[in-house]
Amino acid sequence: MTGSVPAPAGVDVPEALVDAMRSWRRDFHRHPELGFAVDATAAKVAGLLQDFGVDDVHTGIGGTGVVGVIRRGDAGSTPSIGLRADMDALPISEANTFDHRSQVDGRFHGCGHDGHTAMLLGAAQLLASDHHFAGTVVLIFQPNEENGRGAQAMIADGLFKRFPVDAVFGLHNMPGLAVGHFETRVGSMMSSEDLFEIVIRGRGGHASMPEHHIDPVIVAAQIINGLQTIVSRSVPSSEIAVVSVTEVLTDGARNIVPSTVTIRGDCRSFTEATRATIERRMGEIAAGVAAAHGAQAEVSYTSEFVPLVNTEAESAAAVAAARAVVGADRVNPACALWAASEDFARMLAEVPGCYINLGNGVDGPCGKSLHNPNYDFNDDAAALGVAYWVQLVHDLLPIAS
What would the pLDDT profile of 244-270 be if each residue is shown by its tens digit?
Answer: 999 999 999 999 999 999 999 999 999
Distance CA 76, CA 191 (A): 36
Read off the pLDDT of residues 122-164 as tens digits, 9 standing for 90 and up: 999 999 999 999 999 999 999 999 999 999 999 999 999 999 9
Closest to 223 measured CA to CA, from 263, 252, 250, 256: 263
State residue 169's pLDDT score: 98
Give start and end residues of each alpha helix (H) in 235-381: 272-292, 312-326, 345-348, 364-367
Model confidence at 8, pLDDT cuts 50, 70, 90, reads confident
Determine phi and psi for 234, rounding to 5 degrees: -120, -15
Report, as an integer, the average pLDDT of 12-29.
97
Tell me the three-class secondary structure of 262-300, residue by residue. Answer: EEEEEEEECCHHHHHHHHHHHHHHHHHHHHHCCCEEEEE
- Which of 109, 269, 100 is CA-nearest to residue 189? 269
CA–CA distance, 82 with 160 (Å, rounded to integer): 9
At residue 399, the pLDDT reads: 86
State the pLDDT confidence band at 2, using cuts at 50, 70 and 90. very low
Domains and CATH numbers, the chain: 15-188+307-396 (3.40.630.10), 192-305 (3.30.70.360)
Average pLDDT over residues 39-52: 98
Cα 21 to Cα 39: distance, rounded to the nearest angstrom = 20
pLDDT of residue 373 exceeding 80, the answer is yes
Selection from 269, 357, 259, 263 nearest residue 307 by Cα = 269
Query: What digits encode the pLDDT tens for the residues 54-88?
Result: 999 999 999 999 999 999 988 677 899 999 999 99
Per-residue pLDDT tens over the stretch 286-341: 999 999 999 999 999 999 999 999 999 999 999 999 999 999 999 999 999 998 99
Per-residue pLDDT at 9: 75
Confidence at residue 75, expressed as pLDDT on a 0 to 100 scale: 66
